[in-house]
Amino acid sequence: MLTLSDIAAQLGGDVLGERQTAIRRVATLASAGAGDIAFLANRKYRGQLQTTGAAAVILAPAFADEFAGPRIVTANPYAYYARVASLLNPVRAGFAGVHPSAVVGSPLPASAAIGPQVTIGSGVALGENVVIHAGCTIGDGVSIGDGSILYPRVTIYHGCRIGKRAILHSGAVIGADGFGFAPEGREWIKIPQIGGVVIGDDVEIGANTTVDRGALDDTVIGDGCKIDNLVQVAHNCNIGAYSVLAGCTGIAGSVTLGEHCIVGGAGMISGHVTLAPGTTISGGSLVMKNITQPGLYTSVFPIDSHDEWVRNAAHIRRLSHLAERVSELEKKLKEISAND
């Protein structure tokens, strides 16, 4: 439990009202009760400020006078709420030391927490306070930075490098072979994938997401990237710092994302495409060419009744023919105008 004064001392912000108000958890405006701190991040919920049972509220300066109780005023209430939630809910390993069933082939720092049935290969370098949960497999020559957490059944192939404070959720696979095959007649000849994967600091990777190793150079995930569940990042991709990939995104080989790109859920990016820094791709969109200017891009065909969709799809197939007819008509109109 923390007081508003404790929270502000660690996170900043201006406390208005009783500074010693005790806070035990975070909650929404609608559900908050005694001991809860709520937040207003979306103005459409501002009416709930008058009815909430929260002990305190996190607010932007523009709404500071709309709640009479204790409050913390900050420029970004949503980010502040996230930090408060982290303060009140610290991640705990639930175990310490090395479990007797772990198979460890490298020296480990005393601060490491290694769960049951973990396998750690040779030449592995762990930073301080790394937590590896049950059933993880760490290949030879892997490095993992200070404060990183691997949840159950994460697999990191040989030679991959993970930065500090990384969070890898259950089932994530880092460094599997990229999809590289050379055609020869009817056969496909496997191309050895001899690159690695380099993941920066403060990266979070969701459950059952895969990041393939490079064919020659490394696949790179920049600092601060957040990658959701069930995402595929293919070989030799370079994902710029602080980019976000939502669930079921598929990124083909040798794609480059600039810093702070956002790809919505089920977004698809074809191979060898480059996105400018600050690009946002709407969910379900397909990107097949370079994007050189930042902005919001969408290629989703809006949902409709099946019959209407089929009719519209038929029109789309005829667009090139219609464009040619329009061009011909424009030429004829110009000729007629010139003769008048």
Say what percent of the chain tops pLDDT 90: 91
Average pLDDT, integer, range 22-36: 97
Average pLDDT, integer, range 311-323: 89
Closest listed residue to residue 222, CA positions, set 242, 207, 206: 242
pLDDT for 37 equals 98
| pLDDT tens digits, one per residue of 194-223 | 999 999 999 999 999 999 999 999 999 999
CA distance 256 to 277: 10
Task: List, in order, residues 6 or more apart from 138 with CB less than 8 Å away.
Answer: 118, 119, 120, 121, 124, 132, 144, 156
pLDDT for 338 equals 80
pLDDT for 100 equals 98
Supply the residues annotated as catalytic.
Answer: 235
| pLDDT tens digits, one per residue of 141-159 | 999 999 999 999 999 999 9
| pLDDT tens digits, one per residue of 246-285 | 999 999 999 999 999 999 999 999 999 999 999 999 999 9
Is residue 339 pLDDT above 80, yes or no? no
pLDDT for 337 equals 82
CA distance 84 to 149: 20
Given the candidates 3.40.50.2300, 1.10.10.10, 3.30.470.10, 2.160.10.10, the CATH classification of the domain at 97-297 is 2.160.10.10
Fold identical between 2-88 and 97-297? no
| pLDDT tens digits, one per residue of 170-189 | 999 999 999 999 999 999 99
Average pLDDT, integer, range 45-72: 97
Average pLDDT, integer, range 233-249: 98
Domain residue ranges of the chain, discontinuous segments joined by +: 2-88, 97-297, 306-339
pLDDT for 275 equals 98
Task: List, in order, residues 6 or more apart from 48 with CB less than 8 Å away.
Answer: 29, 30, 40
CA distance 253 to 312: 33
Average pLDDT, integer, range 3-8: 97
* Domain boundaries 2-88, CATH class: alpha beta
User: Which of residues 302 and 172 earns the better pLDDT score?
Assistant: 172
pLDDT for 125 equals 98
Gap between the terminal Cα atoms of the chain: 86
